[in-house]
């Protein structure tokens, strides 16, 4: 149970760090570099999709 709790909290901290990173990009005006910003946003959506699949994947009531 401790490993599962550590994994869940680590994933939440990872998303908090991602949102802080995106917010810092807005604050410092990093969105001026269109190619870098677009790749970063695409990676954010890819990570969100991976997290969603990992959340729904276990055989539970939400999987059906």
Per-residue pLDDT of the chain (64 residues; tens, 9 = 90+): 788 788 888 888 999 999 999 899 889 988 888 998 899 899 999 999 988 888 877 766 655 5
Tokens of 4: 């599962």
C-alpha pair distances (Å), 58 with each of 1, 4, 32, 53, 62: 16, 13, 40, 9, 9
**What is the reported pLDDT for 42?**
93
Structure-token pair, residue 41? 């946003």
Give the model's pLDDT for residue 63.
57
| pLDDT for 7 | 83
């Amino acid at each position: 149970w401790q490993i599962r709790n550590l994994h869940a909290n680590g994933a939440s901290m990872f998303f908090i760090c991602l949102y802080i990173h995106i917010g810092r990009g807005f604050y410092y005006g990093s969105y001026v570099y269109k190619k870098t910003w677009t790749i970063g946003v695409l990676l954010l959506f890819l990570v969100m999709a991976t997290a969603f699949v990992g959340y729904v994947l276990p055989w539970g009531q939400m999987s059906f």
